Structure 1
Amino acid sequence: MEQKNTKKLTLFTLTWPIFIEILLHMLMGNADTLMLSQYSDHSVAAVGVSNQILSVVIVMFGFVAAGASILVAQNLGAEKSKNAGQIAVTSISLNLWFSLSISLFLFFFSTSILNIMDLPEELMGEATLYLNIVGGFMFVQALIMTVAAILRSYGFTKDTMYVTIGMNIINVIGNYFVIFGPFGFPVLGVEGVAYSTMISRFLGFIVLLVILVKRSNHQLPFLSFFRYQKEHVAQLLKIGIPSAGEQLSYNTSQMVITYYVAQMGTIAITTKVYVQNIMMFILLFSIAIGQGSQILIGHMIGAGEIKNAYHRGLKSLKIALVISTISAIIIYFSAEFLLGIFTDDTTIVEKGMLLLLITIILEPGRAFNLVLINSLRATGDVKFPVVIGILSMWGVSVTFAWFFGLFLGLGLIGVWIAFIADEWLRGLFMLQRWKSKVWARKAFVHSKAKT
């Protein structure tokens, strides 16, 4: 496969297209929320809870994409392009079959899943409808994630960015027609938004697949789609399962916390959805820096450049800390305006503003995790973040959310206190791990290693 000169890759050249891509993914979610808010606050809450469930599902088949991203980068760093190509194709095949089974499960059991969430009765109908349609086609999102991860590891971060731009445009246009009904088009509400989301993703995948074939000069070993090499599958699972395990633990813990928030009422659910949509604009800086760093560090580890990898991780962390803190402050001072875009409910706006103030303390802690966990994964040190993550997310975040939010009656403020305690505790553990250089002994250093 055609690849960029990895020696010339920099954090900036990798990160800015990733930043734009993630921003656009977030805008797609926010477009659904913003446009639905003109239709019904209840619809916003229904889609918000459904997406919470779908975010867990995405991680369930995200482990293959995570493993592929790291292994492809390491093999390219070690100048083993044939291995990189085989792993890329195998990962696409594995994720297709696995995600198809998950999609079928979501389609047939959406009502049962939502019942477990103890959703208010007035939200059940729309939430079920959305989960049926979007969940039933989640295999398309799995394929998008896998192909995009492969292209990014080869250095083609702009390609995935352009596709995301196209997906956003299609999604917004589709939302406009089904929510506002111009030219006599039927107003379909949540159902229409679900179809719009599904169609834009399907078209996006087709384009990504064409780009992948073109970038490979039609030379990717597509026989690997049917003939798996045991070693490659084992490596994908060895890295991918623990990598996804940390994210899966986070998303499932968030589902439990959403269950707590559901007991606080529909206003609390809606406020949480709006505030977290706004918070994503702070998060995206650290996410982009973390993903860009993972690609760079993966190449460095493959080439045996341990010292460079160590300093890259710390430098990326400092950049993320500064940017996330400044962004959180700016967002807070714009809070009334931003929340006002979504709703004119003064109760939601007032509660949301307070939560965004507390977020200034939360976001630097989250930056530690988003950058250093990605850096550790790139070296092959994937188990430690999972162990610490599970202990902290469930022992601190979920427990504290119940204690402060429900037991002490602090509501959403109590939930945010839990978020802060969890993110900072995990973040400091990750910093200690990175500085210890334990990962250097675990790194998958190939034959090119400079020891």
Structure 2
Amino acid sequence: MATKKEIKEILNLALPAVGEMLLYMVVWVVDTMMVGQFGGKDSVSAVGLASEIIYTFSNIFIAMGISIGITSYVARSIGAKDFEAAEKYASQGIFLGFIVALFISLILFTFAEYFLIIAGATGNVLFLGKIYVKFASIGIFFNMFMNVLNTILRAQGNTKTPMIGASIIIFINILLDWILIFGKLGFPALGAKGSAIATTIAQITGFIFIMSYYFSQKILNIELHDIVNFDKQIIVNILKLAFPASLQEAAFDISRLISIFMIMHLGTVAFAANQIATTIESISFMPGWGFAVAATTMAGQMVGAKDFESAKRYTNIAALFAVAIMGTMSILFLTIPHLFMRAFIKDADVIAVGILCLMVASIEQPFMAVGMVYGGGLKGSGNTKIPFIISTISSWFIRLPLMYVVIYILKLGVVYVWFVTAIQWAFEGSTMYLYFRKEINKLKGAVKDF
């Protein structure tokens, strides 16, 4: 039975993380709304496609890759009261994050047009998308590096400071969006280009805030010489956990990108409707992400302390809250989808298709919540391989084959694609739950045998 203390700890971790990600979603939503109002479906498609490419790279290698390895090791070290090890994993994680973030940023800047062409972009969508990626590739470096710094704070149990950083980013981004997209206060109207510039300036500002916090608070007593003092074994340990986590995210994100490429073949109306519906749904799964962060941190700390029953209870509490919040979003998607769609675009055809997509999206919300939280619990406990295997099966052996059948063989519309993703999440959520219970029981048995 969960105690008030455990519930409070989960909420203290999860709510700022939920708030942080909701703030990021707000800026993504506002970006899409402003760009859609300014330039219509071509601009929405260009910014949407460019953003998918940029954040796919960021998520695979940093947010759901290196950051997972750092979180698990730092949280478990803190749980075991080994603060020297926590400092070593944090400092080497920062070094690794800097190198990878710089490399990804350069790749995106150099090959922006090629990625968009591979994605199927042509004409005005290609032209606008290329401009967006070029500018945004600069900002994404600072965003990825900041993500690594935030990861260390979360592993310590500090989710409030990353939320404050997100608040600063969102305020600047929205203000500059209004000025640069529409051409206010004497600035020229730049449309999609203005959106990219606004995002980049905001991300640089957020990074400066988090770096300033590190220097002023002396987080884990990390010094510059600790970061540049290369420790091969620590790096290898982080990568051993990060690699399966990266592959898991790659399995999901690349399959999602391929799905988007398939949807591009259904026409601009279908793609714009799908992109807007996806943006709206992104708001709903942010609570799942926030409670997954809490589960990863607390499961890691409890496993480090050899308190496996508490690891299970904390993760169960996180899952219950995530399901409750995302289940509420399911009801809203069923009852008022038209209000969501009309906030983004005026095109009646796009609105009609998007409404149906959101209604189908209501099915997958609870399963998504379960999959995210118990997947987070598995990663916190040190097992990143099982989530990778589960995501690979759900993405590549369920989602993509069924989408191919729906789009190319049955020649059905984009709404049926959302039924496919509901099936995918039903499988993934159920399987993550079962394997998390199995992992905790295995760890408990190993300690008893010892």
Same fold (TM over 0.5): yes
Instruction: Check 1:442–1:423 CA distance in 2 against 1; reply closer, same or farther (3 A cut).
Output: farther
Superimposed CA distance per residue, residues 268-317 of structure 1 (whole angstroms, 9 cap, x where no aligned partner): 11101110111112111111111111111111011110111122223322
Query: Hey, what's the Cα distance between the residues in 1 that align with 2:225 and 2:88?
Result: 9
Query: Hey, what's the Cα distance between the residues in 2 that align with 1:7 and 1:367?
Result: 19
Query: Hey, what's the Cα distance between the residues in 1 that align with 2:432 and 2:290?
Result: 18
Instruction: Check 1:228–1:262 CA distance in 2 against 1; reply closer, same or farther (3 A cut).
Output: same
Q: Note if contact 1:73-1:299 (Cα within 8 Å) is conserved in structure 2.
A: yes
1:276 is matched with: 278
Q: By how many angstroms is 1:438 displaced?
A: 5.8
Equivalent residue of 2:38, what SS? coil
Q: Note if contact 1:380-1:444 (Cα within 8 Å) is conserved in structure 2.
A: no
Q: Which amino acid aligns with 1:19?
A: V
1:107 aligns with one of 109, 112, 119: 109
2:18 is matched with: 19
1:54 maps to 2:69: no
Identity level (%): 23
Query: Hey, what's the Cα distance between the residues in 2 that align with 1:57 and 1:265?
Result: 25
Q: Note if contact 2:173-2:199 (Cα within 8 Å) is conserved in structure 1.
A: yes
Q: Which moved more, 1:155-164 or 1:179-188?
A: 179-188
What are the within-5 Å matches in structure 2 for residues 417-432 of structure 1? 417-432=419-434
Q: By how many angstroms is 1:36 displaced?
A: 0.8
Q: Which moved more, 1:132-141 or 1:266-275?
A: 132-141
What are the within-5 Å matches in structure 2 for residues 336-347 of structure 1? 336-347=338-349
Q: TM-score, normalised by structure 2?
A: 0.94
Runs (5+) with no aligned partner, structure 1: 1-5
Q: By how many angstroms is 1:407 displaced?
A: 2.0
1:39 is matched with: 38
Superimposed CA distance per residue, residues 82-111 of structure 1 (whole angstroms, 9 cap, x where no aligned partner): 111121111111111122122111111111
Number of aligned residue pairs = 443
1:3 is matched with: none
Q: By how many angstroms is 1:218 displaced?
A: 8.6
Query: Hey, what's the Cα distance between the residues in 1 that align with 2:446 and 2:382?
Result: 6
Q: Which amino acid aligns with 2:340?
A: L
Instruction: Check 1:297–1:164 CA distance in 2 against 1; reply closer, same or farther (3 A cut).
Output: same
Query: Hey, what's the Cα distance between the residues in 2 that align with 1:376 and 1:370?
Result: 10
Q: Which amino acid aligns with 2:411?
A: G
1:407 aligns with one of 397, 406, 409: 409
Q: By how many angstroms is 1:175 displaced?
A: 0.7
Q: TM-score, normalised by structure 1?
A: 0.94
1:96 aligns with one of 95, 98, 106: 98
Query: Hey, what's the Cα distance between the residues in 2 that align with 1:126 and 1:442?
Result: 54
What are the within-5 Å matches in structure 2 for residues 131-142 of structure 1? 131-142=133-144
Instruction: Check 1:208–1:442 CA distance in 2 against 1; reply closer, same or farther (3 A cut).
Output: farther
Query: Hey, what's the Cα distance between the residues in 1 that align with 2:49 and 2:82?
Result: 44
Q: Note if contact 2:398-2:424 (Cα within 8 Å) is conserved in structure 1.
A: yes
Query: Hey, what's the Cα distance between the residues in 2 that align with 1:317 and 1:188?
Result: 43
Q: Which amino acid aligns with 1:49?
A: L
Instruction: Check 1:111–1:313 CA distance in 2 against 1; reply closer, same or farther (3 A cut).
Output: same
Q: Which amino acid aligns with 1:222?
A: L
2:221 is matched with: 219
1:187 is matched with: 189
Instruction: Check 1:79–1:221 CA distance in 2 against 1; reply closer, same or farther (3 A cut).
Output: farther
1:120 aligns with one of 122, 126, 129: 122
Q: Note if contact 2:308-2:440 (Cα within 8 Å) is conserved in structure 1.
A: no
Runs (5+) with no aligned partner, structure 2: none
1:300 aligns with one of 299, 302, 320: 302
1:154 maps to 2:156: yes
Q: By how many angstroms is 1:137 displaced?
A: 3.9
Query: Hey, what's the Cα distance between the residues in 2 that align with 1:146 and 1:27?
Result: 22
2:291 is matched with: 289
Q: Note if contact 1:77-1:303 (Cα within 8 Å) is conserved in structure 2.
A: yes
Query: Hey, what's the Cα distance between the residues in 2 that align with 1:76 and 1:194?
Result: 39
Q: Which amino acid aligns with 2:46?
A: A
Q: Note if contact 1:304-1:450 (Cα within 8 Å) is conserved in structure 2.
A: no
Equivalent residue of 1:183, what SS? coil
Q: Cα RMSD between the aligned structures?
A: 2.1
1:28 is matched with: 27
Superimposed CA distance per residue, residues 136-183 of structure 1 (whole angstroms, 9 cap, x where no aligned partner): 442212111100111111122111111111110100111111112123
Instruction: Check 1:442–1:131 CA distance in 2 against 1; reply closer, same or farther (3 A cut).
Output: farther
